[in-house]
Amino acid sequence: MGQNLTYKILKNHLTSGNLIPGEEIAIKIDQTLTQDSTGTMVYLQLEAMGIKNIKTEVSVAYIDHNTLQMGFENADDHAFIKSVAKKYGIHYSKPGNGICHQLHLENFSMPGKTLLGSDSHTPTSGGMGMLAIGAGGLDVAVAMASGKYFLKVPKVLNINLKGKLKPWVSAKDLSLYILKKLTVKGGIDKIIEYSGDGLKHLSLTERATITNMGAELGATTSIFPSDEMTFKYLKALGREKYWQELKADDNAAYDEVMEIDLSQIPTMAAKPHSPDNVDAISNIKDVRVDQVLIGSCTNSSYRDLMRAANILKNKKVHPDVDLCISPGSSRVLKMLADNGALSIFITAGARILECSCGPCIGMGQSPKSNAVSLRTYNRNFCGRSGTKDAKVYLVSPETAAISAITGYISDPTSLGDDMVIKEPISYPDSDGYFLYSKDFNTEIVMGPNIKPFPINDALPDTLSANVLLKVSDNITTDDIMPSHARLLPYRSNIPYLSKYCMSTIDKDFWKKCEEYDTGFILAGENYGQGSSREHAALVPLYLGIKGVIAKSFARIHKKNLINSGIIPLEFINAHDYELINEMDKLSIDNIRTALKNNPNKIKVTNLDKSISIDLKFTGSRQDIEILLAGGYLNYIKSDILAMEGN
C-alpha cells in the first residue's frame, strides 16, 4: 500500500520512533506561533530554559486576543512579548494586524512544513498542506528551544469529498455537517486528511475554514493536499516559490475512510451550546436574532467577507439586529476599503471591529441578556460570549448576512442564483504591522501584572487527597479557566486567575482548594475540550490539584496536565465514576512504582467508602518520566541546557 499525505510529512520530519499508530515519536518542528493570550506564559517558560537561540526556521508572536487596552495589563503583556521576540529573533505581529491563523496562512504557511502553535485552531494552516498542530504553551516553548515535538502517532481518517456544494452552501456548512456526523469527540487521536474530486471546487481559504473547524472534532489536526488551488493562493500573495505539489499515493492506506457527497449538504447551524449540536437551517423556524457577528479565524477571509458584503449591498440591517464585522487581517481590511465593500457594510448599518479575535474569545460584544447571537465562529460554549444566558448559533457568513437583514435565522438559498466571488489575482503587501530583529542583549520588559508561573515538585510515592470537585461530561477549558474581557488581562497572573478557576461550576472552588491545600478533580468524558490554554492546567496546579480522574480526556488538555505534573488517570470501568462522590478521600499508594511498572492498572482507594477502584494511565514512557519529575520543565531543562552547551 502507498503512503497517505500525513505519513509522508511525518516521515520527512521524523527524528525518533516509528510511524505506528499509538507509538510515540518526535518530529522536527519548522515553525511555531503564539498569540498574546497564551504567549506571555510561553515566553516566560522559554526564558526559564536559559537558551540563547531558538531552533525553528520561523517563529511568530501574534497580538490578536487581548487587544482592548482598558488598563495597563494587556499593554504590559504586549511589551513583554515584543521584547522577548526581539531577543530571540521571533517575528512580532502588532495589535491590529489581524488574527494569528489568517495571518499565518497569508504570510508564513508552507506546504509540507510542520507548525506547532499555542492555540487549538493552529490546524487552520492544514488547508495549505501543512502539518499544523495546536498544543499547550510549554510544548511550543520546548519546540522553539529544541526544534522537536513529541506526540503519539494518530490514526488517519480520510474524508473523501465528492461532487460540488450547492449554491449558497459553504465550507462552514460542510464543517458543521462533519461535526454532526462525528461529534466533538469524533476526531480524538486522529488526523483528518481530505481527498477526492470535490477538492477542485474548494478554494484555499475554504479549506482553511474546514481545517480550522477540525479542532472542534478533537482531532490532532486536519490537512488538505497541496495542488493548483494552493499554488493559485500563494501566487496571489507573491509567495509561489514556497509551493510544492503534495498528495497521498493513489493506493494510500488509511485507518478509516468516510465519503461525503458535497451536493447533499444543506445549509446548517450549530445550535446552543455545542459545535456538534447541528441541524439544517430549514429545520430551525421562527428564531428571532439579536446579534450577528461575522469574522473570527474561521470565517474572516476576503472571500467570506465579500460574500457577506454582496448579500448586504443595497440592504439595511434589521432594526433589532446588531451586526459586527471583524476582518481577519489588515490585508483583507485594506482590500475591503479599496474595493468599496467596507462602504457597503457601513451603509447597511454594520459596526466595523478591529482585525482581532475580539468577541470570539469573549473580548467585547457580549450580547444582551437572553439574546440570540449568530456567529461565524467555531465555538458556542455556554457563557463564552460573556453573557451566560445568551443562545449562540454557529453559521456560515452567508447565513449570518441574510439573517442580519431579515431579523430571523434565515436560509441563504432563498436568495436565488448564487454569486461568484473571484479569488484575488494579487493581494496587497502587508508588512506595516510586522517587526523583526534579533538582539540577545535586549532587556526583557516585565510589567507588575506578570507573575511567575507555578512549577510542580517531583511526584511523591503516595497521593492522598479529597475530591474537591465532581463534574460531568464535556467540561471545557472555558469551564476550568474562564476567558472573557474581565479575566483576559490577567493571563500572566496565575494567583489572580486562581480565584476564578471552575467558577462557572462552583464559585467557591478556589476557597475549597485553599482550605484543603491539595485535592483531586473527578470528571466524565472528554474532560478539557476546547481551547489549548494551559492556564486550565497551571491554575489547578497553583491551587494544589494533584490529579484528575476522568472517563476520558481531550488531547491537548491531557498533555497540558502532564506537562504541569498533574496526573491524568482514567477509569478502566466507566461505571466506577459513580462510586466516588465529591469530598471523598482518595489515596493512591506506590504511584511512582505503579506508573513505571504497570500504568494500565493503578489502584485508588476510596477511604470514605472502603473500596478500591482500578484506574489506568494512558501515555508514553516519556509522559511517565515527565510526571515523575513533576512536569515538563523539570524534565527537559537539563537536556535543553546540554544542547546549548551550558
Average pLDDT over residues 529-540: 92
State the amino acid at position 315 in one-letter form: K
Residue in the block written with cell 526564558: 47
pLDDT of the residue at 324: 97
Could you tell me which of 97, 92, 90 has the C-alpha nearest to residue 64? Answer: 97
Cis ω before 273 (30° cut-off from 0) = yes
Average pLDDT over residues 622-626: 95
Average pLDDT over residues 306-330: 97
CA 94 to chain centre: 21
Q: Is 418 helix (H, G, I), strand (E, B) or coil?
A: coil
Cβ atoms within 10 Å of 573's Cβ, excluding its own: 11
pLDDT of the residue at 68: 83
In sequence order, what DSSP letters do the residues of 219-234 get, joined into one string?
A: BSEEE--B-HHHHHHH
Q: Where are the beta strands (DSSP E) in 219-352?
A: 221-223, 256-261, 268-270, 278-280, 291-294, 322-325, 351-352
pLDDT of the residue at 638: 66
In the predicted structure, residue 641 carries a pLDDT above the cut 80: no
Residue-wise pLDDT for 189-232, tens only, equals: 999 999 999 999 999 999 999 999 999 999 999 999 999 999 99
Residue in the block written with cell 477542485: 200
Using a 10 angstrom Cβ sphere, with 0-12 exposed, 13-18 middle and 19 or more buried, the burial of residue 302 is: buried
pLDDT band at 642 (very low <50, low <70, confident <90, very high): low
Q: How many CA atoms lie within 13 A of 588 on its CB side?
A: 31
CA–CA gap between residue 68 and residue 484 (Å, rounded): 11
Average pLDDT over residues 230-253: 97
Q: Which pTM value belongs to this model?
A: 0.94
Kindly provide the b/e burial profile for residues 214-248, where b requires at least 16 CB atoms within 10 angstroms of the residue's own CB: bbbbbbbbbbbbbbebbbbbbebbebeebbeebbb
Cβ atoms within 10 Å of 266's Cβ, excluding its own: 17
Could you tell me which of 213, 233, 229 has the C-alpha nearest to residue 221? Answer: 213
In sequence order, what DSSP letters do the residues of 65-129 get, joined into one string?
A: SS---SSHHHHHHHHHHHHHHHHHT-EEE-TTSB-HHHHHHHHT--TT-EEEESSTTGGGGGGGT
pLDDT of the residue at 531: 84
pLDDT of the residue at 575: 96
Residue in the block written with cell 469524533: 186
CA–CA gap between residue 65 and residue 559 (Å, rounded): 23
Average pLDDT over residues 29-54: 94
Mean pLDDT value across the chain: 95
pLDDT of the residue at 238: 96
CA–CA gap between residue 495 and residue 534 (Å, rounded): 14
Nine-digit cell at 587? 489515596
Nine-digit cell at 618? 494512558
CB 192 within 8 A of CB 5: no
pLDDT band at 383 (very low <50, low <70, confident <90, very high): confident
Q: Is 392 helix (H, G, I), strand (E, B) or coil?
A: strand
Residue-wise pLDDT for 3-27, tens only, equals: 999 999 999 999 999 999 889 999 9
CB 128 within 8 A of CB 230: yes
Cβ atoms within 10 Å of 382's Cβ, excluding its own: 18
Average pLDDT over residues 353-376: 92
User: What domains are defined for the chain?
Assistant: 5-264 (3.30.499.10), 268-412 (3.30.499.10), 463-644 (3.20.19.10)
CB 41 within 8 A of CB 84: no
Q: Is 37 helix (H, G, I), strand (E, B) or coil?
A: helix
Residue-wise pLDDT for 137-183, tens only, equals: 999 999 999 999 999 999 999 999 999 999 999 999 999 999 999 99
Question: Rounded to the nearest 5 degrees, what angle is found at the Cα of 162, between the Cα atoms of 128 and 130?
Answer: 15
pLDDT band at 488 (very low <50, low <70, confident <90, very high): confident
Percent of the chain residues topping a pLDDT of 90: 90
Alpha-helix residue ranges (DSSP H) falling in 196-326: 204-213, 228-236, 302-312
CB 580 within 8 A of CB 606: yes
Least confident of 205-214, 362-371, 506-515, 536-545: 362-371
